[in-house]
Chains A and B, each alone.
Chain A
Amino acid sequence: MRYSTDIPHAALTNARAAARRRFLGQCGVGLGTIALGSLLGVGSAPAGEPAASGPLAPKQPHFPAKAKRVIHLFMAGAPSHLDLFDYKPELTKLEGKPLPPSVIAGQRYAFIRPDAAVLGPRFPFAKYGKSGLELSSITPHLATIADDICMIKSMHTDQFNHAPAQIFMNTGFSQPGRPSLGSWVVYGLGAETTSLPAYVVMSTGAGISGGSANWSSGFMPTIYSGCRFRNQGDAILDTSSPAGIDAKLQRDSLDLVGALNQRRLASDGDPEIATRIASYELAFRLQTSAPELMDLSSESKETLDLYGCSPDKATFSRACLLARRMIERGVRFVNIYHEGWDAHSDVTGNHKDNCQKTDQATAALVTDLKRRGLLDDTLVIWGGEFGRTPMVESNAALGRSLGRDHHPTAFSMWMAGGGVKRGFSYGKTDELGFHIDENPVHVHDLQATILHLLGFDHERLTYHQAGRDYRLTDVYGKVVKELIA
């Protein structure tokens, strides 16, 4: 192979330096308006600096916010309020008997007939903390943070099947196509960091019924979509350079891409080119910051033990610890999906198992955030898409027994931190845990409340699309002021 000697090496070096000077100097067109103020000092910019402008630039909410960040622990499949939080001794008395028609009239169920027999609570309950929060015996770790919890026992939703109900909880609408809560939050507040995605989604259980519609930006630009962190391979797809490319070749390649783009920017004047240049630098940062985030070797054994986390296993515990690390690094909204609560059969075994997998880490997350001073402005949300029936689900043909069906008319969720009351319980169901007796909180009300905690009037956080202003709460929702500290 004959190598070219037509261009002297020194000339090449000079040309490159000149190009780089131009690249660094010609920021008159467009670069001033792009999403990376520090682009010009590649390599020396402080990591994690927020974007100066653009769709992810930090924005002020409508009024001073109590919460700046959110971690939503989505208990997909729908946990049973009756076996975890909402103790109903009356059910034990009625066990084996059908409920009267006056209670069950008009209900639609997924699998059972409404006249199925009653099933009593599966676990003993006790009161915990100064607040006397009533919990079942299978969440011993949650019991230790009872006084940090703001429990809502009067949630209700419109949907009685998983996919629509999950999408409804996330987007305020039962079918795919609208932006998720996380998208609204990032749209409204922008990003605190440019080194990591603003909105991250993790999943540790079985498959998620609602799929990617749960974290989609819907009709908003895709930049507001949740970024799926994966359990195998790169956490963010394509963060690793291909085999055979080392850091220097990657850097050289990016420099050449940047230099060629810079020439084009100078000649064509399209500000999009400037954004493209910035996005490549951000990508380069992500190649470092994402692995750094995922590497738990800097965490103490005490912390790992607190969460019950083994660093190499993609468990709910690891996801909770990662969520804390993300929050520390400026991620705005974290979704952790744990799907597996759909106890159509053996609600006892199912819930024991799920608590085994989630209880310790959930409590550890709140504890850890608290001791690091992050809980005050980080809102933690725990809950599923609906509740479960006070009636038993049994079906020999389907091999089901001692389960519970889907129940949209009443269920429990809790929040912690981020400006909600501590050691507080709100709302009340009837003595069967079937209907709500006091202070109903509809999904849209919860969404309005969460946005309020983040500093938004849910009626004013809108996005204009297809002829009208859309909002997370559709045309409904009222802030539940009683929940706010």
Chain B
Amino acid sequence: MRWSEWRQHSVRTGAIVGVLVLLVAVPAAVRAAEGHTDAPDYNADVRPILSSTCFKCHGPDDKARKGKLRLDVRDLATKPAKSGDIAIVPGNVAHSELIKRITSTDEDEVMPPPASQKTLSPPQKDILKRWIAAGAEYRPHWAFVPPVQAPLPVVAHAAWARTPIDHFVAAHFEAEGLEPSPPADRYTLIRRVSLDLIGLPPTPAEADDFVADTAPDAYEKLVDRLLAMPQYGERWARRWLDLARYSDTNGYEKDRPRSMWPYRDWVIGALNADLPFDRFTIDQIAGDLVPDATPQTIIATGFHRNTMLNEEGGIDPLEYRFYSLVDRVATTGKTWLGLTLQCTQCHTHKYDPITQREFYQLMAFYDNADEPTYLVKPADYGQREKEVEAKIKAIVAELPNRYTVSKPIEWTSPQSGTLITTSGETAEHLSDASWKLAGHSAAKDTYVVEFDVPLDDSDSLRLEAFPDQANPKGGPGRSTGGNFVINELHVAVVPAGSHEKPQAVRLAHAEADYSQDGWDVKGAIDGDPKTGWAVQGQSMDALRTATFTFAQPLHHPGGAHFVISLEQQFGDQHTLGHFRLSLGRRSHAGSDEALRSQQREQGFQSWLEREAAKSVHWTVLQPATAISVAPVLTVLDDHSVLASGDQTKSDTYTLTFTSLLEHITALRLEVIPDEHLPNRGPGRVYYEGAPGDFGLSELTAQADGTPLHFSKALESYANGGNHAANAIDGKTDTIWSIDGGQGRYHTAVFALDQPLGTVRTLSVAMLFERYFSAGLGRFRFSATSDAVPIGASELPPEIVDLLTIPAGQRTEEQRKRLYQEYLLVAPELAAAHAEIDALRASLRAFPTTLVMNERPAEHRRITHIHNRGEYLQPTDAVTADVLSVLNPLPATARHDRLGFAQWLVDRANPLTARVTVNRQWAALFGRGLVRTVDDFGYQGDAPSNQALLDWLAVEFINRGWSLKTLHREIVLSATYQQSSRASPEALAKDPGNLLLARGPRFRLEAELIRDSMLKDAGLLSTKLGGPSVYPPQPANVTTEGAYGKLDWHVSQGEDRYRRGLYTFSKRTAPYAMFSTFDGPSGEACIALREISNSPLQALTLLNDTVILEAAQALGSSIAAAPGSDEERAQALFRRCVTRPAQAAELVQLVHFVVEERARFQKHELDPAILAGSASGDAVERATWTALARVLLNIDEAITKG
């Protein structure tokens, strides 16, 4: 919009509200300039006094109220008290008790009382007197009255003004007798606006182009170009993430990582797309409830899932859920309303008209959400799913042909050969081709056996260790126990008759019919001389056989010469006494197909027999009721039960069943994976333990009220010793757990000690009791009246059903179905199963993020007021409602999060637009028009220029809540484009730059310092979004002293140089550089960061790895550039601070270069160390690196000026 349009627009919207502007607070000087009378203004002069001095005891909080007197409401302050006294008699100072009290000298009478340690100054008393004399007019607090646009003030600097903003600003500084500063020079301007809009400095070339562009709209074009860049979203997202308390870990003691970056990326995308701020708000608060909900709007609800999660063993999860809700209300207050709602958690606000009840009414909006983990499926998920399913189908179709055929091995034992030992001991070669050593064994020894075999090919080696009475205990070995150890076995081969050196043969597998505990035969081929094969056992006089398979079958037409070595490093005469070596090859007899078909059929038959023995007929039980105290149990169509909602450390699920078969002998509990559960379940463990696991402490049952007894429990899978039997042992501290089996289906069978008769009601109770929540997520019960099975099955229930049909009675269809199932579990098809699993896993390899999901209406949570804000002291129940001091919820509005979000961004809401534009102003000028960006209440600062704030707020709404339009409007103003240089006079008159007669100047945020330097150095990656990264920092930052240790594996490639907002954010040990420069920890909502200035910051910039790498990259680049020292120093200077160095500065830079270069040349310092690893002249690179390091450290490099 051009200037003339702006003007028309403003006049149009401003005309109707010209009168109202008089109501709002403006500094006395401005009011005077605008010709106001001398009566004190309630908002500007009176309320601040009453609020800070009187309201604490005579304000909104009825619990703290003294003498039943309330001064914040005119009707009550002017009402006679019981005593007849009237605090405020409008127009009558003498009869006003308030004035009597504040002027009293009696210690018992005077107000404020001495104990409060508050006093009123004479001018303050005077204001109150004059105010009462003039009629004691109360006016609504400025921030609670919706903003209106005032007409543009007529100003002397009309020619200076470029936009309406400038008129409002000029009106203020003119009133104080200040002149605007001259425009910033073009280099400063492009640097300023680039840092502001995209968070990165311009390159020297970009700056030159801008400086050279003399077109009148050059700056506007620049602004529009920057607004359109994807880096805009990154820069502004970081500020929003401060409010959202974004982090990549859960916080508190364990501080484990969480996946939340899809939310972060949503923010970046929304800002780049200029999603209108009202919609931006609605999606983040209620994106699951909007009628047009999409995965993107659901991801947006992560805003309030950024609260911390305490995973410390022993916490009460509902207590920390309550703290999250408290945080959500407080953060909403800070982010949208500019209200200190957190004050009302424990009591009615001491200053603002907000009650404690209202705090919990707001909490009720948020209370009714569940907090699931959302799977961020890609847009083409449906298509990909089809593709994967098609691929799986193809593999399944091929399964019969891929069945591994195991052909018998033919063994050949060479009759001739030699055996040499390292010890010199000799061996006897017996007629059965075995070797026998019966002399005195060395403590350690290696046998090398060489022989020829006449085979054309071979694929394995067999070692038979014979028991022999010549050895102790009649064993195969010669230790005192008859044992032996083969630490390593090597095989080498050459063609028969060749004189070449034998080539080593790689051994892929080793198997033995027996291995001693801890001495598995695999240890003989693992290259580790400490491990090996040994056979100590109950009986030593048994033949022990080991088979070693070659990685590749060998082809050696005409025979081969083998060299086999058997190493015994263990000691104590653990040598072999009697053994035979044979070479094997798979039989070539018979066709593969015939053999495969035969083996497959055999395998199928034996599987059928095995599984049928475990199978009985189960009848699925439909729960008549399914209840628990905290979790919501929902019975699904297949009669399984899905648990959702809250959990505690001790949850009991109670189910009753009424349609029952007779003579029940056992119950089956199926535990079923589900996408809605952590790690796909079947359990609900989400903190402290292993996600997706459960801990079933006890399972008890009653038949028509009579307790039942279980004789045994079997499970298809258990984690370690956590068997299903633990659930019927009467001990609550032992459990059935399936950790390691998450995402898979398991069952347990609970056998009754005697069959039941006819039962009307069976009730089953499951207790889940750990020191953390460990309930089941999805499960189903069945019963059988068959004989109790010998095992629990992981096969699908319909397969188990088929297996119970006697083999002769199965239809062909049923047989086929079983055959298909067999192919899906047969070990001979393991490779194909792995392919199918990998395909399924690839489909599920999408990121997750935390979101909100509204609970069903029938499971609404009841929200209570909590006495003193304490979790353990709930009092009255409340229903969701908004703050009475602000716009009411429309009659038609929904009383849920969506209704609440819509209320926040309703045009009638007096705060949201003001608070939002004020925060943008603060981002650009370093200070808000309301300095207290998070407090627009009575105790907050009055706006320094309310007419401007209100104009901007209304304009923001009128122009579709567009943040880009707002940012554009501000940076195009003359106000923004002023030079930031402050003369001593200007500094003295307006040290805080409240009047805006100069441009902004302040240090960059933590991330932007790093980003700028990486950009200067040409190292910065432009990759947008994705999982967080780990740029260099000392490894011990996240390990030393941190309870939730995180190994900081530095990212490689471009991820080493991503923008700061992608750096992994660990709450209890944040990235060191960012903390040093006031970066947030993610533990609380931050509306405006501190800007501190400390020696630790200097140390970081001087000595940190990241900065050094930037300096080295700059140094190498400048060293390789042509030109004189002046030219190169200039080029370097410009890359760091954009503007050209002045002649005097250049002299200093070159002097430094000449001096340091000389030191490097003389090798007073080793240039190679400082220069880093790039190629090129080390002295030059080191010299320019040193200068680059200086320039990255100067104030200008880290300041927006």
Contact = CB atoms under 8 A, between A and B. Distances in A.
Interface of A: 1, 3-4, 6-7, 9, 11-13, 15-16, 19, 28-29, 108-111, 160-164, 175-177, 197, 203, 206-213, 216, 219, 221-223, 225, 227-228, 230-234, 236-246, 248-250, 252-254, 256-257, 259-261, 263-264, 267-273, 275-277, 279-280, 282-283, 285-287, 337, 339, 395-398, 405-406, 460, 466-468
Contacts of B987: 29, 269, 271
A25 B316 CA distance: 63
Nearest to A203: B1041
B1159 A233 contact: no
A4 B1126 CA distance: 8
Nearest to A267: B981
Given A16-B1151, A279-B1094, A206 B1189 contact: no
A414 B1084 CA distance: 33
8 cross-chain pairs, A with B, having the tightest CB-CB distances, nearest first: A110-B314, A211-B1068, A244-B1170, A244-B1169, A283-B1098, A207-B1043, A467-B340, A203-B1041
A481 B934 CA distance: 39
Contacts of B308: 175-176
B616 to A, nearest CB: 31
Contacts of A254: 1102
A238 B1104 CA distance: 6
A112 B722 CA distance: 20
Contacts of A11: 1147
B1154 A4 contact: yes
Contact of A245 (B980, B1094, B1186): B1186
Contact of A1 (B771, B1098, B1180): B1180
15 contacts: A11-B1147, A15-B1151, A16-B1148, A164-B310, A177-B1084, A211-B1068, A212-B1081, A222-B1075, A236-B1096, A244-B1166, A248-B1164, A264-B1194, A269-B987, A271-B987, A397-B733
Contacts of B1072: 237
B1150 A279 contact: no
A338 to B, nearest CB: 11
Please indicate which of the listed interface residues B1099, B1159, B1196 has the most CB atoms of chain A within 10 Å of its own CB: B1099
B1156 A249 contact: yes
Given A268-B981, A268-B982, A208 B312 contact: no
A29 B991 CA distance: 12
A203 B1045 CA distance: 14
B1099 A236 contact: yes
Contacts of B462: none
Please indicate which of the listed interface residues A282, A460, A467 has the most CB atoms of chain B within 10 Å of its own CB: A467
A3 B350 CA distance: 71
A208 B980 contact: no
Interface stretch (B73-81, B142-150, B250-258, B596-604): B250-258
A252 B1145 contact: no
B771 A253 contact: no
Given A3-B1154, A19-B1144, A221-B1092, A163 B310 contact: yes
B1154 A467 contact: no
A268 B1157 contact: no
Contacts of A286: 1095, 1099
A468 B1148 contact: no
A436 B1098 CA distance: 50
Contacts of B1155: 252
A260 B1146 CA distance: 10
Given A6-B1126, A161-B312, A279 B1148 contact: no
A467 B312 contact: no
A277 B1093 CA distance: 10
A246 B1002 CA distance: 32
A339 B1042 CA distance: 10
Given A176-B251, A243-B1170, 8 more contacts: A161-B312, A219-B1084, A223-B1094, A236-B1096, A239-B1099, A244-B1166, A264-B1194, A269-B984
Given A211-B1067, A223-B1094, A233-B1036, A176 B980 contact: no
A72 to B, nearest CB: 15
B340 A15 contact: no
Contact of B1002 (A16, A231, A248, A272): A272
A234 B1040 CA distance: 13
B927 to A, nearest CB: 13
Nearest to A290: B1099
B1040 A9 contact: no
A260 B253 contact: no
A208 B1147 contact: no
Nearest to A405: B314
Contacts of B1191: 260
B114 interface: no
Interface in B907-951: 932, 934-935, 937, 939-940
B1081 A12 contact: no
Interface in B1045-1069: 1045, 1067-1069
A399 B1044 CA distance: 22
B301 interface: no
A157 B658 CA distance: 50
B1098 A249 contact: no
Nearest to A258: B1194
A466 B331 CA distance: 12
Nearest to A277: B1195
Interface string B675-716: 000000000000000000000000000000000000000000
B1040 A232 contact: yes
B449 interface: no
Contact of B1189 (A239, A240, A253, A263): A253
Nearest to B1168: A244
A219 B342 CA distance: 14
B328 to A, nearest CB: 13
B1094 A257 contact: no
Given A206-B1043, A239-B1099, A163 B252 contact: yes
Please indicate which of the listed interface residues A162, A249, A268, A405 has the most CB atoms of chain B within 10 Å of its own CB: A249
B809 interface: no
A222 B1078 contact: yes
A296 B1186 CA distance: 33
Given A208-B1041, A283-B1098, A163 B1170 contact: no
A238 B1102 contact: yes
Contacts of A236: 1096, 1099
A110 B317 CA distance: 11
B1069 to A, nearest CB: 6
Nearest to A234: B1034
Contacts of B876: none
Contacts of A15: 1144, 1147-1148, 1151
B340 A466 contact: yes
Nearest to B1100: A238
Contacts of A282: 1095, 1098
Contact of A207 (B982, B1041, B1199): B1041
A361 B733 CA distance: 40
A163 to B, nearest CB: 4
Contacts of B1100: 237-238
A467 B984 contact: no
A240 B1102 CA distance: 9
A256 B1151 CA distance: 10
A160 B1036 CA distance: 29
A418 to B, nearest CB: 26
Given A272-B1093, A467-B351, A163 B312 contact: yes
